[in-house]
Structure 1
């Protein structure tokens, strides 16, 4: 579990060609990938390199991706268990399901 008091300052980029939201820190790239299905975004993988684990990067990526879905009136299919558990813990995103 990450501590929400230590929010990392993460610059997240949307790579539309690769269909993923990514951040690179110290030469290591973490990302959440998706597939588009009509008005749904299927979030299928959240990848954080071992060197970056424990900094809240995965959660920051998921939160960014969910806000993107909200802002674009998309529903979310959380194929990735990390995304599913994040939504379970954050009721403000339940309506995306």
Structure 2
């Protein structure tokens, strides 16, 4: 199984493809250089396979590479960051 995380700026979200099938996304609202993440969803066919965690990890890695920051209204992303404190430096209070 191969994962690919890509940003879809037109839809304000990062998407994860599993073997070329859209498996989930995490949506954001841009606020300057901060992306406020509001919701993460994984297709039922791909749940409990690590797809959600791979989506968030790939999203945060891309944001880190470009020097961005995140605010987390999304409980799934907030919980992921709590379990993976190496990403805590990307989080800012909601703008």
TM-score range, shorter chain: 0.7 to 0.9
Q: TM-score, with normalisation over the residues of structure 1?
A: 0.82
Q: State the distance in 1 between where 2:31 and 2:16 align.
A: 24
Structure 1 residues not aligned, in runs of 5+: 1-7
In 1: Cα distance, 2:6 partner to 2:72 partner:
20
Residue in 1 that maps onto 2:58? 64
The count of corresponding residues between Structure 1 and Structure 2 is 90
Seen in structure 2, the aligned counterparts of structure 1 residues 90 and 52 have a Cα distance that, compared at 3 Å, is: same
Matches within 5 A, 1:43-54: 43-54=37-48
Unaligned runs of 5+ in 2: none
Is the CA contact (8 Å cut-off) linking 1:42 and 1:76 kept in structure 2? Answer: yes
**8 Å Cα contact 1:28-1:52 kept in structure 2:** no
> How far, CA to CA, are the matches of 2:17 and 2:31 in structure 1?
27
**Residue 21 of structure 1 aligns with which residue?**
14
CA distance, structure 2, for counterparts of residue 23 and residue 87 of structure 1: 18
Which residue number in structure 2 is paired with residue 5 of structure 1?
none
Cα deviation per residue 1:28-52 (whole Å; 9 max; x = unaligned)? Answer: 5311111110121111111001111
Q: Distance in 2 between matches of 1:12 and 1:28?
A: 10
Pairing 1:55–2:49 present: yes
Segments ≥4 residues shifted beyond 6 Å: none
